[in-house]
């Protein structure tokens, strides 16, 4: 019975992520693990099961990382001067998607499996954190702020993963950032800053 349910969930996820745009289920904004419990559970995990995350888990993870949490469009992570210069991408075996936070959906940008370009761990999902200096500025101070903003998002990913009993690892030494930039169709002002492997811990 459990295997049947898991297979159905994986098939549903595969079908949901076939189109260019995939509407995500609404994230939970109440309940769940307390902040103190999440902080206590937060850790880096590098070994994952092959199981794919559910659409609900994906929605919760990306909203927690850098989703919209107020009517004025502001986010779950701060950015200097509210530049909101960060875009998140999801990489899976079936391709790559950009997270459109305001619409709460994923927009497909590639059909290639780019996970090995983002990290060396066998994870069902990679999150790519991209910063756009066209929005934040290209001065040394602006780049310093952008790095801070990426750090806020990264910590949100860690805490969300802990709260959902998932594993994650922030990766600064990205194997092929140029490949990611090309395949994700980034502009010259956009830079891959950090990636996260995510999955169910072994």
Exposed / middle / buried, residue 9 (Cβ in 10 Å: 0-12, 13-18, 19+):
middle
Taking the model in full, what pTM does it have?
0.90
- Most distant CA atoms of the chain, gap in Å: 57
Which uninterrupted H or E stretch holds 151?
A: helix 140-163
172: left (phi over 0), alpha (psi -120 to 50) or beta: alpha
* Architecture of domain 2-199 in this structure: 3-Layer(aba) Sandwich (3.40)
d(CA 97, CA 111): 9
Residue-wise DSSP of 93-107: TTEEEEEETTTTEEE
Residues in CB range of 18: below 8 A, 6 or more apart: 94
- Predicted confidence (pLDDT) per residue in 159-187, tens digit: 999 999 999 999 999 999 999 999 999 99
Chain mean position to CA 42: 17
pLDDT at 20: 75
pLDDT 10s digits, 127-149:
999 999 999 998 999 999 999 99
Domain extents for the chain? 2-199
Q: Where are the beta strands (DSSP E) in 74-200?
A: 86-92, 95-100, 105-110, 125-132, 167-171, 190-199
Residue pLDDT, tens place only, 25-65: 999 999 999 999 999 999 999 999 999 999 999 999 999 99
Other CB atoms closer than 10 Å to residue 105's CB: what's the count? Answer: 15
State the Cα–Cα distance between residues 163 and 25, nearest whole angstrom. Answer: 18
Greater model confidence, 12 or 128: 128
- What is the rounded average pLDDT for all residues in the chain? 92
pLDDT at 132: 96
- Helix/strand number for the chain, H first, E second: 7, 7
Taking alpha carbons only, the member of 179, 24, 35 closest to residue 99 is: 24
| Digit-coded pLDDT (tens) for 73-93 | 999 999 999 999 999 999 999
């Amino acid at each position: 019975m459990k295997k049947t349910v898991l297979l159905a969930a994986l098939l549903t996820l595969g079908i949901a992520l076939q189109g260019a745009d995939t509407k995500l289920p609404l994230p939970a904004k109440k309940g769940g693990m307390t902040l103190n419990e999440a902080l206590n559970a937060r850790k880096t995990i590098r070994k994952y099961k092959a199981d794919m995350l559910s659409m609900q888990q994906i929605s919760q993870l990306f909203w927690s990382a850098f989703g919209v949490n107020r009517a004025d469009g502001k986010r779950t992570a701060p950015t200097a001067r509210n530049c909101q210069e960060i875009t998140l991408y999801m990489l899976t075996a079936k391709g790559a998607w950009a997270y459109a936070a305001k619409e709460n959906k994923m927009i497909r940008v590639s059909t290639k499996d780019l996970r090995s370009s983002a990290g060396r761990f066998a994870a069902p999902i990679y999150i790519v954190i991209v910063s756009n200096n066209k929005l934040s500025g290209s001065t040394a101070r602006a780049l310093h702020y952008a790095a801070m903003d990426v750090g806020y998002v990264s910590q949100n990913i860690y805490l969300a993963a802990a709260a959902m009993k998932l594993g994650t690892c922030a990766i600064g030494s990205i194997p092929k950032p140029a490949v990611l930039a090309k395949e994700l169709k980034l502009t010259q002002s956009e830079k891959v800053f950090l990636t996260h492997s995510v999955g169910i811990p072994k």
